[in-house]
Amino acid sequence: IDFDLILENIKYLNMLAGEGISQIEHTPQGARLRQAEPLPLTLYQNGIIMCNGAFRPYQDPSTQQWLQDIMDGYFPSELQPRYPDGI
């Protein structure tokens, strides 16, 4: 697993998703600026933990698909229904 490529692509995808850019959130009193909540991710030698969920070993097919999406420069396909504009 090329961890350097994964980290480089995650940084790039974060930039595409607007990391650090505030968006307007409408409230009953008017509006305010807010930043998107980050998605916690921890990479281990033998697997990942995403969103404070369960440990996912790299041998798991869904984790392999997640890694392949990231290494290909795409947002993980499993997150697209929940975050259609990227996360």
**Model confidence pLDDT, tens digit, residues 1-55:** 889 999 999 999 888 877 777 778 888 988 888 877 778 999 999 999 998 899 9
Residue corresponding to tokens 């998605």:
39
**Residue 81 pLDDT:** 87
Give the pair of three-digit tokens for residue 6. Answer: 């994964």
**Residue 87 pLDDT:** 65
How far, in Å, CA of 46 to CA of 26, rounded? 42
Which amino acid, one-letter code, is at 75? F
**Residue 62 pLDDT:** 94
CATH class of the domain defined by 3-82? alpha beta
Domain residue limits, the chain: 3-82
Identify the sign of the CA torsion 7, 9, 12, 14. Answer: negative
**pTM here?**
0.74
**Residue 45 pLDDT:** 92
